[in-house]
Structures are given as structure tokens and as C-alpha cells.
Amino acid sequence: MADGVGITLLRHGMTEANVKKRYLGWTDSQLTAGGMQELERLQSSYPNYDRLYCSDLNRCIQTANILFPKFEPILKREFREMNFGEWEGRTYEQLLIDPHYKRWLERPFEIEPLQGECYQDFSQRVHQGWIGIVEDMKLKEAKYAAILTHGGVIRDLLVKYAPEKRQFWDWKISYGCGYELCWKSYEKLRRGERCTSLRAVPIMEKENG
């Protein structure tokens, strides 16, 4: 990477709540057996990072321990998923009787979940976490870091920093996978510029030819 700097954004493994399509924000859910097996398969797909930052929710910590068993993650509350309040643990079908939920579906970036977190507060929280790790990387002279976090956090950061502008929901992130963002210099990263290059990770060889 020469004088450049890179940050990889990784999503946690699949959980029981994900399988059941339940809203999963600040509450937690165990990784599925299949999710853990997939993470074990991906274990050797990532390099050794200088720094590993991680949401403090257990599903991310579990994922970090599987993908990077010899690395102690630096826990960051700022990289939690959005708080869905009263909707935590419930499904789309269960919530359709709620008029407020229907309004939120129409305007999710303007209306907040009941007793939950509005998008603006969520995005600001993530941004503060981002600023913190950028400064920490400078302090520790780290060139290559990873953030193990949640789908919503990754989408929010890609909207801000990906070289190609896309809408929030246009970004697809598989469990245990993510994106590597690279800047030509630390100062470009620190100034909040969009990254120079972006690639999906890990790069897996196609199976069966």
C-alpha cells in the first residue's frame, strides 16, 4: 500500500435472529451453527491488520474471535447497529399492524422507530466512531485496519466514503464479508475525502470452475 492507508469494513456472521428476519439492533442474538462454519471457512481469507476495531455487541465479538483468533479486538460502542427500540426482535409481518411502522417504512431516514434511534442520530454516532479510529490509526501509525460491525453501519460509511455514490440500500453486504476502502494518504482519509479505491472482500475463487 506504500504511503496509502486502508480500512476494511466487515459484517458479523449470520445470527438466529437474522435467519428469522427479526429486527436486530442493540439486542443480541447468537451466531448460527452454519454462520460459524462459514466464518471458519473465511478465516484465512483476510490479512493481518495493524488494528482491529469491533462493535461491542456479542455477535461481532464472536465473529472477531473466529475470523481473527490471535487478535484482541478494540471494542467501540459507536459501531453498534441502529437501535430499533420497541421493534427489536419483531418481524415485518408482526409490525405491519402498527401505523407508525408503516410510516417509517415509507420514510426511514426521517422517522425514528418507537423508543428507538433516528437515522440522523445513528449516522452521527457512527461518524464519531469513525473519527476516533482515524485518529487512533494516526497515533499508532497503523496503515491497515479493519472494523467488524453491522450491515447498517457499513452501508452508512459506504454512502459517505465510497468512490462511487450509491444509495444506502444499494449496498449489499454478505455475512462475514465486506469492503476494503483505500486512500492514497492518511491526510486524505483524515480530511474526510472519499476513498481512492474500493473492492469487495474477501476475493474468493469461483467454485466448480
68-106 per-position pLDDT tens digit? 999 999 999 999 999 999 999 999 999 999 999 999 999
**Of the candidates 166, 161, 188, 200, which has an alpha carbon nearest to the alpha carbon of residue 11?**
200
**What is the pLDDT at residue 207?**
37
Contact yes or no for 173/151 (Cβ under 8 A): yes
Secondary structure (H, E, C), the chain: CCCCEEEEEEECCCEHHHHCCECCCCCCCCECHHHHHHHHHHHHHCCCCCEEEEECCHHHHHHHHHHCCCCCCEEEHHHCCCCCHHHCCCEHHHHCCCHHHHHHHHCCCCCCCCCCCCHHHHHHHHHHHHHHHHHHHHHHCCCEEEEEECHHHHHHHHHHHCCCCCCHHHCCCCCCCEEEEEECCHHHHHCCCCCCEEEEECCCCCCCC
> How many domains is the chain partitioned into structurally?
1
Asked, for residue 167, whether it belongs to a domain, the answer is: yes
**What is the pLDDT at residue 205?**
45
**What is the pLDDT at residue 2?**
58
**What is the pLDDT at residue 203?**
76
Q: Determine whether the annotation assigns residue 150 to a binding site.
A: no
**What is the pLDDT at residue 209?**
29
**What is the pLDDT at residue 122?**
98
**Of the candidates 69, 47, 73, which has an alpha carbon nearest to the alpha carbon of residue 60?**
73
Q: Determine whether the annotation assigns residue 18 to a binding site.
A: yes
Q: Determine whether the annotation assigns residue 204 to a binding site.
A: no
Asked, for residue 183, whether it belongs to a domain, the answer is: yes
* Residues contacting 50, CB < 8 A, separation 6+: 137, 140, 142, 143, 144, 145
Contact yes or no for 133/76 (Cβ under 8 A): yes
Asked, for residue 193, whether it belongs to a domain, the answer is: yes
What pLDDT digit, counting tens, does each position of 103-141 carry?
999 999 999 999 999 999 999 999 999 999 999 999 999
Mean pLDDT of the chain: 94
Segments forming the whole domain that contains residue 91: 5-201
Q: Determine whether the annotation assigns residue 103 to a binding site.
A: no
Q: Determine whether the annotation assigns residue 14 to a binding site.
A: yes
pTM: 0.94
What pLDDT digit, counting tens, does each position of 23-62 carry?
999 999 999 999 999 999 999 999 989 999 999 999 999 9
Contact yes or no for 66/39 (Cβ under 8 A): yes
Q: Determine whether the annotation assigns residue 15 to a binding site.
A: yes
**What is the pLDDT at residue 204?**
60
Q: Determine whether the annotation assigns residue 11 to a binding site.
A: yes
Mean pLDDT across 172-181: 97
Asked, for residue 208, whether it belongs to a domain, the answer is: no
CATH number, domain of 72, equals 3.40.50.1240
pLDDT above 70 for 4: yes
